[in-house]
């Protein structure tokens, strides 16, 4: 069994503008770097053995800030933790996206489905739990995973059977969500624990 603390990356200028980033590689802004430092401060209350991250710059930089502050090895980058591909919706303001497509689950040309995001993220978390146990002596029991709002939302939706997050509930930049992973199983323990 492995405790996985999923942290959403810090703020970017596109987050601030409410622009859909998806796979666009947008860096953190100064507030985002402060979000990462604040997340690290909150995470100091527990022991963590390793850190993993999406390779997108905003998640990677958040993970680097957290790992440096906690004295962990540099983050291991996991491509399947990347944000949802939004296809033709990428780069639009949220208001433009909703006006054009109606809602987040509507089919968008070139976009991944929420189920597809959850499937690849679940596979990534299984691999992380296995990898962290192999890398550490004793086996890692607590791992930080820095990802994206869409990935975290898809995972919470999947493990809660669609009851969480509640409509309108925000996955805030720098927030943490704790899961328990065992072979073939993922269970939500807490969400938005850094708010």
- The number of beta carbons lying within 10 Å of the beta carbon of residue 91 is 14
Q: Which of 9, 49, 148, 158 is catalytic?
A: 9
What are φ and ψ of residue 138, in 5° steps?
-65, 170
Among residues 186, 147, 192, the alpha carbon closest in space to that of 165 is found at 192
Look-up of token digits 């328990």: 180
User: What span, in angstroms and rounded, lies between the C-alpha atoms of 112 and 116?
Assistant: 6
Among residues 91, 90, 83, the alpha carbon closest in space to that of 58 is found at 83
Q: Which of 61, 83, 90, 112 is catalytic?
A: 83
Pairing of strands 142-147, 185-190: unpaired
Q: Among this protein's residues, is 88 annotated catalytic? A: no
User: What span, in angstroms and rounded, lies between the C-alpha atoms of 139 and 177?
Assistant: 22
Here the tokens at position 42 are: 């909150």
CA dist 86 → 39, 67, 75, 79, 143 (Å): 27, 29, 26, 16, 28
* Axis crossing angle, helix 57-70 with helix 30-43, rounded to the nearest 10: 40
DSSP summary character for residue 36: H
Q: Among this protein's residues, is 64 annotated catalytic? A: no
The residues annotated with a catalytic role in the active site are 9, 83
């Amino acid at each position: 069994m492995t405790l996985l603390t999923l942290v959403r990356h810090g703020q970017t200028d596109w987050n601030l503008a409410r622009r859909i980033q998806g796979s666009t590689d947008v860096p953190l802004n100064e507030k985002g770097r402060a979000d990462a430092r604040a997340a690290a401060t909150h995470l100091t209350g527990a022991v963590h053995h390793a850190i993993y991250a999406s390779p997108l710059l905003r998640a990677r930089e958040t993970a680097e800030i957290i790992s440096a502050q906690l004295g962990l090895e540099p983050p291991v980058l996991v491509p399947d933790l990347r944000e949802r591909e939004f296809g033709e919706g990428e780069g639009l303001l949220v208001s433009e996206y909703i006006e054009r497509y109606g809602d987040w689950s509507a089919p968008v040309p070139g976009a991944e489905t929420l189920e597809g995001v959850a499937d690849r993220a679940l596979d990534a978390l299984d691999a992380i739990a296995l990898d962290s146990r192999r890398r550490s002596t004793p086996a890692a029991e607590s791992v930080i995973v820095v990802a994206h709002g869409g990935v975290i939302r898809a995972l919470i939706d999947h493990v809660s059977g669609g009851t969480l997050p509640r409509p309108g509930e925000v996955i805030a930049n720098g927030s943490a969500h704790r899961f328990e992973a065992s072979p073939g199983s993922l269970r939500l323990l807490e969400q938005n624990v850094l708010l």
